[in-house]
Amino acid sequence: MSRSLPLIGFLLLVGLFGFGIWWNTRHDPREVPSPLIGKPAPEFSLPLLDDPGKTVSKTSMLGKPYLVNVFASWCIACGEEHPVLMAEGRTLGVPLVGYDYKDAPEDAKAWLARHGNPYDMVIADQPGRTAIDFGVYGAPESFLIDAKGTIRYKHIGPFTPEVIERELKPLIAQLKQEAP
């Protein structure tokens, strides 16, 4: 028994380190979990990118679920995500709200004109102040908000068709059942 003790210790360490490697390949250690899930979305009131005279607020969006997608023209990963949103955005069954984050309006407009606009509406947060309330720390990030204005889901990083299929669509179906 006592002779096999070092071997057991060694195997335990192998197991521990192996788990660490496995865990890190499946989880992004830079991903910050959002404490806002299940909590009311922060109050916001932001101008439309195309019509800065009009604002969209949390109150004006109450009543049905919607998906907020934080993007910016300077964000490369948003370019990776963009074709996915172009292809799947309309099939989600909820309004897709673009959240233009810390971006010059002209840049964002040019970017959308060049790559196509998957959004039902685009709100602009040039100073990035409201984004702090949402706990945004980069782009892309996406928030699914239900009819009562509660954040139900957050995705950090670009959406892929798999993530949309596996995580987003079942949740949207559930939200629509709650508030038809």
Q: Residue 138 Cβ, how far from other proteins at the closest point, in Å?
A: 4
| DSSP secondary structure code for residue 50 in this structure | S
Between CA 71 and CA 68 the distance in angstroms is: 10
DSSP states of 119-136? -SEEEEESS-HHHHHTT-
Between CA 81 and CA 12 the distance in angstroms is: 41
Q: Residue 13 Cβ, how far from other proteins at the closest point, in Å?
A: 12
Question: What are the residues binding other proteins (CB under 8 A)?
Answer: 2, 30, 32-36, 72, 74-78, 80, 101-103, 128-129, 132-135, 137-140, 156-158
Name the residue nearer to other proteins (CB basis): 32 or 87. 32
Q: Residue 103 Cβ, how far from other proteins at the closest point, in Å?
A: 8
Q: Residue 136 Cβ, how far from other proteins at the closest point, in Å?
A: 8
Name the residue nearer to other proteins (CB basis): 143 or 175. 143
Q: Please, are residues 150 and 165 in contact by the beta-carbon 8 Å criterion? A: no
